Amino acid sequence: MAQATDYSLANQSGSSFRSELNSILSAVQTLNSGSTAPSNLVAHMVFLDTSTTPATLKIRNAANDGFIELGTASTNFGLVSASGATFTGDITLNAQSDVRFADSDSSNYVALQAPATVSSNTTFTLPSADGTANQALKTDASGNLGFASFLLATETTNGQVVTGGVRGAITTLTDAATIAIDMDDNNNFKVTLGGNRTLGNPTNVVEGQTGFIEVIQDGSGNRTLGYGTNYRFVGGSPPTVTTTASAVSVLAYAVMSDEKILITAHLDVKAQV
């Protein structure tokens, strides 16, 4: 390694001139190499910093107030080869940049990217082996992914067996003069009556859906419940919900068609006395 303190050749004797010239040429030959930067820095000056392993090749910026790192003095300047590379550290793609997997002729690709906003750093660890046919990836809520079998919402095969509890939540309906039900929300519902109400015809009705609607009287009680035109009743008589304050009636329903919803009432549901 060599550095020159001065690149300007002064008038001097032959031996001194030769010595200074050789010093300058040595610095040029070795790219001003050294563990610290040369003292006579100028814009665009090349410097091989030997304080790193491998040494780092740098060039002085145009403002002459800092260096631009070009890479290390190793194959491809330590940069990734376009024909393939092995990374030994993390890779960050900024601003939702994609990882793209091109097809056989590179005319189209499949890309993966981060969401627009990430509230905190998240790492997903892939499973160590493939799953079985029709399994899907699941998470353990700690970022560890694995394969598991799921009952598909569109499953049409007969004789499905579920080895475990299947539980549906209960959706609380908004109390209103006409109580709205969206059957896409759930199978089971509940509502507390704050006045005389009508149970409106549900939306998103699909033949075969079943469930219940828990009807609760408020603290005052004496609230009546009427029914929309799409409900059907045994004998054609709509049930009268129990009107005692805080009383509970449960309306079991079964959808027979878009406009036929069978209601069976369980009135004054409470603990045994």
Q: What band does 156 get if pLDDT is binned at 50, 70 and 90?
A: low
Residue 219 has pLDDT above 80, yes or no: yes
For residue 273, what pLDDT is reported? 84
- How many other CB atoms are there within 10 angstroms of residue 23's CB atom? 16
Domain end residue (candidates: 45, 62, 78): 78
Beta-strand runs (E) in 15-151: 46-49, 56-60, 67-72, 99-102, 109-112, 136-139, 145-148
Residue 103, SS3 per DSSP: coil
For residues 43 and 58, what is the distance between their CA atoms, to the nearest angstrom? 12
Question: Cβ of 31: how many Cβ atoms within 10 Å?
Answer: 20
pLDDT at 220: 96
| 133 in Cβ contact with 143 (< 8 Å) | no
Domain-terminating residue out of 78, 95, 116 = 78
Three-class SS of residue 257? Answer: strand
> Within a domain: residue 135?
no
pLDDT of 155 higher than 60: no
pLDDT of the residue at 39:
87
Q: Is residue 248 part of a domain?
A: yes
Judge contact between 236 and 262, C-beta under 8 A: no
Sign of CA dihedral 231, 233, 237, 242: negative
CATH of the domain at 238: 2.60.120
Residue 96 lies in a domain: no
Domain end, chosen from 36, 51, 78, is at 78
Helix (H, G, I), strand (E, B) or coil at 170: strand
In this predicted structure, the answer to whether residue 161 has a pLDDT above a threshold of 60 is yes
Spacing of C-alpha 201 from chain mean position: 37
Check if the beta carbon of residue 47 is closer than 8 Å to that of residue 32.
yes
The whole domain housing 254 covers 170-266
What is the pLDDT at residue 153? 57
Two tokens at 101?
A: 């997997």
Residue 222 belongs to a domain: yes
Decide: 166 and 172 in contact? Cβ < 8 Å. no
Domain count, the chain: 2
Q: Report yes or no on 85 lying in a domain.
A: no
pTM for the complete prediction? 0.50
Q: Considering only 22-26, 64-68, 78-82, 221-225, which range has the smallest mean pLDDT?
A: 78-82
**Highest mean pLDDT: which range of 2-11, 165-174, 247-256:** 247-256
